[in-house]
A and B are shown apart, each in its own frame.
Chain A
Amino acid sequence: MTDKAIYMDNAAATRLDEKVFEAMKPCYFDNYAVATSEFGYSQGLEAREILTEARAKISAFLGAEPDEFIFTSGDTESSNLALKGIAKTLGAKKDSHMIISGIEDFPVLQSAKALEKQGVKVDYLDVDEYGFVNMGRLKELMTDQTILVSVQHGNQEIGTIQDIEAIGALCKEKGVLFHTDATHTFTRVPLDVRKIHADLITVSAHTIHGPKGIGGLYIRKGTPVGKITDGGYQEFNLRAGIENIPGAVGFARAVELVSDEENMRLKSMRDKIIELVSQKIPHVTLNGHPEKRIPQNANITFHYVEGESITLQLDMYGIAVSTGSACFSRSLESSHVIAAIGGDHERAHGSIRFTLGRYNTMEEISYVADKLAKVIADLRKISPLGKTGGM
């Protein structure tokens, strides 16, 4: 094993920023009380203020009012609440209908599948070769029965940024609620609810150097979300359970710490890795759109070789990345995103996702590109494919 540790799987989890940790600490050791009602004791009232402040910071970042944002345990819970909460209030009619994109991440995808079993009709919107949803088809699919459209802001695997401004406008025009999963764009790509019409937005701290286990859901005033966890009256009676105040404070601090400069830096590292790989390695395909992609994501297919072999070889050099190959996944199924953009099994099989974060450097990008060139060349020597330059 090498002494270098290069982490490029920031879409999965990120290193906590020390400044975030410092902000959270007092909530563990100084005032660890729960947020009480306004008739509670002093520590509880103070805890309540701390929570309110964290909420205000994050909602302001989204251009929202403080009472339009609730904390959850992360993006999975947020998206579950968005879809199931709407189905709970509006889905009573047997033929109620939702439209989601076919490349949503699992929280939205599996929530929709669970709702289908309860009788909600779900249409899965197709995407083009870059991963952009078919707007014409979206228009066609919307009916009087449609209660919700859920299209993500940026894709978890290939990084494609959807035109949610147009989708939001269309939903508004048709009077249909619009949810967007912004787990991979929040703070990285501008998102302001005063400019973009969205009724529900999923966000999470774990992708922006905040703590794991805290996320949130923006809920536009008046959006009829039903409560799906039973218990106390926390979070405007929409999410029962003791508030994760250290998490909320950490999340708010993490949001403050992201800067435009950092996003520009991520983008230049992203472009560099794409450039170096294209220079050094033949037979590669960039998955997603070259420009309309989140600044921290590069996803490249290395033809004629398999992804788990690549990740394991890179791991020996201390490099952590992920792949859309079936051999890497828990279900042994290859990426549904690559399949949806028209990629065959082979394209998913050799796809590698690099997701960058605050602690990556340009030196690391060069190191990774060099090691990749060697690993891919070695694996291609073993491969029966591509020897004559074609399949």
Chain B
Amino acid sequence: MAFPYNDTVLKHFRDPQNVGIIENADGKATEGSPACGDMVSVYINVDSETKKITDVKFESYGCASNIATGSIITELAKGKTLEQAKSITWKEASDALGGLPPIKAHCSVLAVEGLRSAIHNYEEKHGLTTNKEATTEEVVRRRLKRVMNPMKGLDMVATDLVKEIEVKDGVVRVVVDLPEDHQFSGTIREEAKERLENLWDVKKVIIEFVK
């Protein structure tokens, strides 16, 4: 049977680990929203001395890849220090699952971000974060690294889809190296917008496509 998912993914999808809520969690975050598609909530408890993650749970409103990644990433994060957990990449999570179909990368990257955001939330609460940085071309580029290119399973920066970035007076303009009527232009526009719109000093995001 030509299932798009391997047995490890299916196992984590059918019987996901670490599902649930931690009441009064030390750190928590939700990534995505019902409006845009998938959504993941991640909760962590942290040992204040060692800065190790002692407990981690997640909830998912998402597809199979999203649920399986939530399961594996919480397994990977457990017992790690915040610094170690922060640096777990989508690639590592995907590898631990024995690989995910490229087109599903965007659904699963959300779980990775959920974990990072929960850690960030903990750090903010405990005064461990640095000050707000102004949005620059570089910040935009970094954010766009979270937008997956569904054709490749790698992000849109790594796959050279970002043709141009302009940041001016709170308006971010990104030119994507795809024609407007491309199969994936709609989803890439939505995801790129989503990644940029909540930056604190950004008023407007314009995503353009090449002719």
Seen from chain A, the residues whose Cβ lies within 8 Å of a Cβ on chain B are 1, 113, 304-309, 312-313, 316, 325-328, 330-334, 344-346, 349, 381-385, 391
Contact = CB atoms under 8 A, between A and B. Distances in A.
B117 interface: no
Given A312-B13, A331-B186, A381-B19, A349 B34 contact: yes
A384 B59 contact: yes
B59 to A, nearest CB: 4
B35 A384 contact: no
A383 B59 contact: yes
B62 interface: yes
B1 A332 contact: no
Interface in B3-29: 5, 13-14, 16, 19
A326 B32 CA distance: 14
A313 B13 CA distance: 9
10 contacts: A308-B64, A312-B13, A312-B63, A312-B64, A313-B14, A332-B106, A333-B186, A333-B187, A383-B59, A384-B40
A331 B103 CA distance: 9
B37 interface: yes
A306 B39 CA distance: 10
Given A332-B106, A381-B19, A306 B62 contact: yes
B187 A382 contact: no
A382 B60 contact: yes
B200 interface: no
Q: Which of B14, B35, B62 has the most CB of A within 10 A?
A: B62
Contact of A306 (B30, B63, B106): B63
Contacts of A330: 183
Given A332-B150, A384-B30, A327 B38 contact: yes
Nearest to B36: A345
Interface of B: 1, 5, 13-14, 16, 19, 30, 34-41, 59-67, 103-104, 106-107, 150, 181, 183-184, 186-187
A312 B10 CA distance: 9
Given A304-B61, A309-B63, A312-B13, A382 B150 contact: no
Given A309-B63, A346-B34, 18 more contacts: A113-B181, A305-B61, A309-B64, A326-B37, A327-B63, A327-B104, A327-B107, A331-B187, A332-B103, A333-B187, A344-B34, A345-B34, A345-B35, A349-B37, A381-B19, A383-B59, A384-B30, A384-B40
Given A383-B59, A383-B61, A384-B60, A327 B37 contact: yes
Contacts of A381: 19
A285 to B, nearest CB: 14
Which 9 A-B residue pairings sit nearest by Cβ, starting from the closest?
Answer: A384-B59, A327-B63, A308-B63, A332-B187, A346-B34, A384-B41, A383-B61, A331-B183, A312-B64
Contact of B39 (A113, A344, A385): A385
Given A306-B38, A349-B37, A382 B63 contact: no
A316 B13 CA distance: 12
Considering residues A313, A345, A346, A382, which has the most beta carbons from chain B within 10 angstroms of its beta carbon?
A: A382
Contacts of A327: 37-38, 62-63, 65, 104, 107
A319 to B, nearest CB: 15
Nearest to A310: B63
Contact of B67 (A309, A349, A385): A309
Nearest to A383: B61
A382 B107 CA distance: 16
Contacts of B36: 345
B35 A382 contact: no
A383 B187 contact: no
A183 B196 CA distance: 42
Given A332-B106, A383-B59, A384-B41, A391 B183 contact: no
